[in-house]
Copies of this chain bind each other. A is one copy, B any other.
Amino acid sequence: MSANDRPTGQQQTSTAVAESAFLKACRREPVPHTPVWFMRQAGRSLPEYLKLREGIPMLDSCMRPDLVTEITLQPVRRHKVDAAIFFSDIVVPLRAVGVDLDIKPGVGPVIGQPIRTRADLDRLRLLEPDDVTYVTEAVGTLVGELGATPLIGFAGAPFTLASYLVEGGPSRNHEHTKALMYGDPDLWADLLDRLADITAAFLKVQIEAGASAVQLFDSWAGALAPSDYRRSVLPASAKVFDAVAGYGVPRIHFGVGTGELLGLMGEAGADVVGVDWRVPMDEAGRRVGPGRALQGNLDPAVLFAPREAVETKAREVLDAARDLPGHVFNLGHGVLPSTDPDALTRLVEFVHTETAR
């Protein structure tokens, strides 16, 4: 962002944000260039992030507005991406409503007391804006600092949150989660419904504080067959999207390994469907159908290859996305921790140059 395109007043800022390439692409309008951002751009691949986080546990950093602001801004400054993603973790709203949990380095979220019975669920209360004042504060500061760059709000989807709560931590096979889903469909539906309310409230806080878009991350949805997703998960994710529909901000929906679910993830109410690298963007467009933009989908592992190979693969993504109604360039999953940050910066520049109109 150069000095000349930094607006001076609040009104000008919000107009500039609304006219940003990122929001235009989300709305399927013509863009000056294909916008780029990276899932997990704010975080572990940046030396300035690692320095800032030194000695500070992950959850603590998500609850300190100064850190959240700085970490969210770092990749925007460095890579010149077209959108900022709010630095948080999908378990933050659970912690905010009193779930006993911690994020263990090298493991992930660990839950003190898993939820597997009706009595467990009864202890899970709804989220109030006062539970997350640090979020309101950080978003407010960020919107000011970001100028014309839109801020994407962020929440984990009900199924993924349920998997953490039921398993008690990260799980490869989701045995307990699926046992509950198949074995006690009523309790399952109530759990997902409660999580939908918590998630919607968490997104509302971010939108009301100034976020210009939201992304619902259903990290584990790819573990489900389509019929199970439709019956047991989609209603809760749709409830989240419905709850924030009135704000008119684009709603992005992403999960890894969700090739079979892309159509359903759109149907849940997304304006933009995120695609992992396994499905070519044109095929993803056919599965999602008209009326929605797509986001994706360079394999994050490609960034470990030489520069020419990265550009070849990035061009393949752009070519496959050419006829989509709207395309936000992204990786097909989060930035891998040992990625060279310069490779990301070069990739942003490459996509901007290749697609400049």
- Residues of B close to A300: CB separation below 8 A: 173
- Residues of B close to A222: CB separation below 8 A: 257, 278
Main secondary structure of the interface of A (DSSP, over half): helix
- Residues of B close to A338: CB separation below 8 A: 175
Q: A173-B300, A260-B259 are in contact. Are A305 and B225 (CB under 8 A)?
A: no
Q: In this assembly, does A80 line the interface, its C-beta being within 8 Å of a C-beta of chain B?
A: no
Within 8 A of B (CB), among A311-329: 312-313, 316
Q: In this assembly, does A95 line the interface, its C-beta being within 8 Å of a C-beta of chain B?
A: no
Chain B min CB distance to A286 (Å):
13
Q: In this assembly, does A309 line the interface, its C-beta being within 8 Å of a C-beta of chain B?
A: yes
Q: A183-B306, A183-B309, A259-B260 are in contact. Are A174 and B301 (CB under 8 A)?
A: yes
| B280:A226 contact, CB within 8 angstroms | yes
Interface size on A, residues (CB 8 A): 37
Q: In this assembly, does A299 line the interface, its C-beta being within 8 Å of a C-beta of chain B?
A: yes
- Residues of B close to A278: CB separation below 8 A: 222, 224-226, 257, 259-260
- Residues of B close to A279: CB separation below 8 A: 225, 260
- Residues of B close to A309: CB separation below 8 A: 182-183
Residues in A lying within 8 Å of B, measured CB to CB: 173-179, 181-183, 222-227, 257, 259-260, 277-280, 283, 299-302, 304-306, 309, 312-313, 316, 336, 338
